[in-house]
Chain A
Amino acid sequence: MSTVRLASITKHFGTTVAVHEFDLEVADGEFVTLLGPSGCGKTTTLRMIAGLVEPTGGRVWFDDQDVTFLPPRARNIGFVFQTPALFPHLSVAENVGFGLSVKGARKAAIASRVEEMLAMVDLTGYGARTPSQLSGGQQQRVALARVLATDPRVLLFDEPLSALDKNLRESLKFAIRELQRRTGKTSIYVTHDQSEAFAISDRIVVMNGGRVEQIGSQTEIYLRPRTGFVAEFIGANNALPGTVVALEPVSGTSGQSGEHRFRIRSGELTLSCRSRLPVALGDAVVAYLRPEDLAVVDDDGAEYRNVVEGEVERVIFEGPTAQLRIRVAGREMRVDVGGSRRLTLTEGDRRVRLGFDDLNVVPADTASADGGSGGSGGSGGDGSAEPVSA
């Protein structure tokens, strides 16, 4: 049970920068997830925390102890790998008790602890079996029991569910979270699966290209992405690049504290936006609009801060929702509708009115290079169809 602190952790592989000055503080008992596409440095960071990789720069602290150069065995951690990595020549019980036996614990103590751990993962009685006799999910549970047996102060997970099939992933991820809650262990979890991260984390660190894009809770990341990458990697989003053309005076009643409103011009549209970040006239920004935040309005839409009109180009019926591709002022936007609207709108409908509130913006230089999309980043998103270009 420790806090974990990363101070400017950096890793270079030759000339490649895998991780760039990563700062992070994890509270005692917190569950933090590093989320990002493959190659973003999340696994490298995790392995530096574990001591399997030596950082090129920076420091790692567990509580007050500088562990940066300590080998893994001296850090008292639990590391769960992508594959269970159970020792094939040892039984389940011997696997679970391995960490204790290498420290010289007595046989009786090891045996009772092994029982305890197996019970915790619902595998009582499996002690005598060998790993090859277990299913993939059972093996991963034994791996969990194995790392918990040594009572580590930090748990590290390297995409432990990615090798399992979908149903198993669902059940096991909650089991992991449950275990973590029960034992209260500080945990750092790595995944590229957005829904997994959202389901079990206290906080999420979104990473890309070796850098941290944003750290925050699920709602913060989803509703207030700070960079274009986060906006597009998490869920689906419509991207509207534009320029700030008018600032509105700060008023105490406008939205959350510290937020101010302004207008941007994006193509032919003038849109009302808000942000916590300071903006100046002429700044290049990208406004983001989630498909579910657009409402189809029948009246003049006065209750919305923004109203636009467009033509329905495609309707993709998904069951509970329908995705609409609507062309607004020359741009294709994705709108998700539910309820009866799924059935009343058809391709070719013109003059469909859409209303939405103030848009969130990010600086234009943080938007991803392919210039906006509505597709979901990472697997496990809303599983929607092709991206929408702004």
Chain B
Amino acid sequence: MTGQTRSIAPLRPAPLAVLGRGDAARRLRTLALLLPAILLALLFLYYPLVFIVQMSFTEGSSFLSPGGPIATLANYALIGGRYLPNLLVTLQLALLATIVDLIFGFPFAYIFVRKVRYRTPVRALMVFPMFGALYIAFGMRFILLPGGPATPVLQALGIASTDALFSLPSVVFAMSIFTFPFMVLNIGTALGNVDPTLEEAAACLGARPWQTFRRIVLPLTRAGTVAGALTVFGWSIGTFAEPLLLGSANEQRALAWTVYQRGVVQTDYGLSTAMGVVLLGVAFVVTYLSLRYSRGALVE
């Protein structure tokens, strides 16, 4: 005695179309659309990465041959021994650049998000670092040349210009300029998600600006800040323009450059790929951590 519909005897039976003709065609289409991208990544990223991992365990390579069949850890031993300073310098530079970006980037992001109305000119100027660390390093080297534009200023501050040019601080400075926009973007996004009325509420409740900052703003932007710091760090370990152009012999030992020298110039493929693998390892750890901290996945 349920509600009656006008029942019709269908002309033909109605099968349950579970895997009908629609599905297979659709799957094929999806695959076809994704194939170019997958091929590009597989052929030009993943396979090469596997290749160098494999090569990092070889020795005695040359331009013509990839090196002996015996798997060895000698390359990694070298990195832990003779080339340890290179690794350490790389990490040190990246860490310092990150810290500088944090210290200067956070206020910048805060002011930009909360107070600045003239966004376009700022954005237009912020693209400059993006054009590449090379120009930054180049420009700074020129500025810091003894006899160059900065010399009078430096002398007034009591710093010999030769000290300023090929030194750690100038390398770090140049590196932090290049990665500054990344940091500001990450922090800015996180700040943008913090309702400004929260800060006002805290102020009305009697909190002083520093307290509001420390107890309301900082915790709420922690995810974005950490993501930004990790992104910057990951980018910084792979650079060589700044260390090379602005650094002393110490900084020029940055791993990225050593990879080039040992690898392309001296064709010691085993060693250079091992360094590459180490760099990759550090980058992956950093990226993994930063992705865990950042929210808002783009893809469901």
**A54 B20 Cβ-Cβ under 8 A:** yes
**A363 B1 Cβ-Cβ under 8 A:** yes
**Distance, CA A318 to CA B16, complexed state (A):** 52
Binary interface profile of A, 140-153, with partner B (CB < 8 Å = 1, else 0)? 00000000000000
* A residues in contact with B22, CB < 8 Å: 54, 69
Q: A23-B5, A277-B1 are in contact. Are A58 and B21 (CB under 8 A)?
A: no
**Distance, CA A194 to CA B190, complexed state (A):** 47
A55 on the interface (CB 8 Å rule)? yes
A 8-23 contacts with B by CB, 8 A:
8, 10, 23
B1, B8, B11, B20 pick with most chain A CB within 10 angstroms: B1
B117 on the interface (CB 8 Å rule)? no
Q: List 21 A-B contacts (CB under 8 A).
A: A7-B10, A25-B6, A54-B17, A55-B17, A56-B17, A56-B18, A57-B14, A57-B16, A59-B10, A59-B12, A69-B17, A69-B20, A213-B3, A214-B5, A215-B5, A230-B3, A277-B1, A278-B1, A366-B1, A366-B2, A366-B3
Closest CB pairs A-B (n = 7): A7-B10, A363-B1, A227-B3, A57-B16, A226-B3, A8-B14, A213-B3
**B16 A7 Cβ-Cβ under 8 A:** no
B4 on the interface (CB 8 Å rule)? yes
**Distance, CA A366 to CA B1, complexed state (A):** 8
A212 on the interface (CB 8 Å rule)? yes
**B1 A58 Cβ-Cβ under 8 A:** no
**A23 B8 Cβ-Cβ under 8 A:** yes
Closest B residue, CB atoms, query A229: B3
Give the interface of A toward B (CB within 8 A): 5, 7-8, 10, 23-25, 54-59, 68-69, 212-215, 226-227, 229-230, 277-278, 363, 365-366
**Distance, CA A126 to CA B20, complexed state (A):** 44
Q: A5-B8, A69-B21 are in contact. Are A58 and B2 (CB under 8 A)?
A: no
**Distance, CA A356 to CA B102, complexed state (A):** 81
**B3 A214 Cβ-Cβ under 8 A:** yes
**A227 B2 Cβ-Cβ under 8 A:** yes
B7 on the interface (CB 8 Å rule)? yes
Q: For A8, give its contact among B2, B4, B6, B10 (CB under 8 Å).
A: B10
Q: For B8, give its contact among A7, A214, A278, A363 (CB under 8 Å).
A: A7
**Distance, CA A58 to CA B11, complexed state (A):** 11
**B15 A57 Cβ-Cβ under 8 A:** yes
Q: A25-B8, A69-B20, A69-B22 are in contact. Are A59 and B14 (CB under 8 A)?
A: yes
Q: For A7, give its contact among B14, B17, B20 (CB under 8 Å).
A: B14
| B interface, size bucket | 10 to 19
* B residues in contact with A58, CB < 8 Å: 14
Binding site secondary structure of chain B: loop
Closest B residue, CB atoms, query A228: B3
Closest B residue, CB atoms, query A57: B16
B130 to chain A, nearest CB (A): 30
**Distance, CA A212 to CA B2, complexed state (A):** 10
**A363 B2 Cβ-Cβ under 8 A:** yes
**A23 B17 Cβ-Cβ under 8 A:** no
**Distance, CA A95 to CA B14, complexed state (A):** 38
**Distance, CA A165 to CA B16, complexed state (A):** 42
**Distance, CA A25 to CA B8, complexed state (A):** 8
Q: A54-B20, A56-B18 are in contact. Are A212 and B5 (CB under 8 A)?
A: yes
**Distance, CA A17 to CA B254, complexed state (A):** 62
* B residues in contact with A25, CB < 8 Å: 6, 8
Beyond the given A23-B6, A212-B5, could you list 15 further A-B residue pairs with CB under 8 A, ordered by the A residue number?
A7-B10, A7-B11, A10-B16, A23-B7, A57-B14, A57-B15, A59-B14, A69-B21, A69-B22, A214-B4, A214-B5, A215-B6, A226-B4, A363-B2, A366-B3
Closest B residue, CB atoms, query A64: B11
**Distance, CA A58 to CA B12, complexed state (A):** 10
**Distance, CA A57 to CA B16, complexed state (A):** 4
**Distance, CA A56 to CA B23, complexed state (A):** 12
**Distance, CA A336 to CA B8, complexed state (A):** 40
B174 to chain A, nearest CB (A): 44
**Distance, CA A213 to CA B5, complexed state (A):** 8
**Distance, CA A226 to CA B3, complexed state (A):** 5
* A residues in contact with B21, CB < 8 Å: 69
A33 to chain B, nearest CB (A): 15
B217 to chain A, nearest CB (A): 39
**Distance, CA A363 to CA B1, complexed state (A):** 7
* A residues in contact with B15, CB < 8 Å: 57
A8 to chain B, nearest CB (A): 4
B35 to chain A, nearest CB (A): 23
Closest B residue, CB atoms, query A55: B17
**Distance, CA A7 to CA B1, complexed state (A):** 21
**Distance, CA A159 to CA B230, complexed state (A):** 49
B 187-215 contacts with A by CB, 8 A:
none
* A residues in contact with B4, CB < 8 Å: 214, 226
Closest A residue, CB atoms, query B22: A54
**Distance, CA A55 to CA B7, complexed state (A):** 19
* B residues in contact with A227, CB < 8 Å: 2-3
B1, B3, B4, B16 pick with most chain A CB within 10 angstroms: B3
**Distance, CA A9 to CA B14, complexed state (A):** 8
B10 to chain A, nearest CB (A): 4
* B residues in contact with A212, CB < 8 Å: 3, 5
Closest B residue, CB atoms, query A25: B8
Closest A residue, CB atoms, query B15: A57
**Distance, CA A58 to CA B17, complexed state (A):** 8
**Distance, CA A215 to CA B4, complexed state (A):** 8
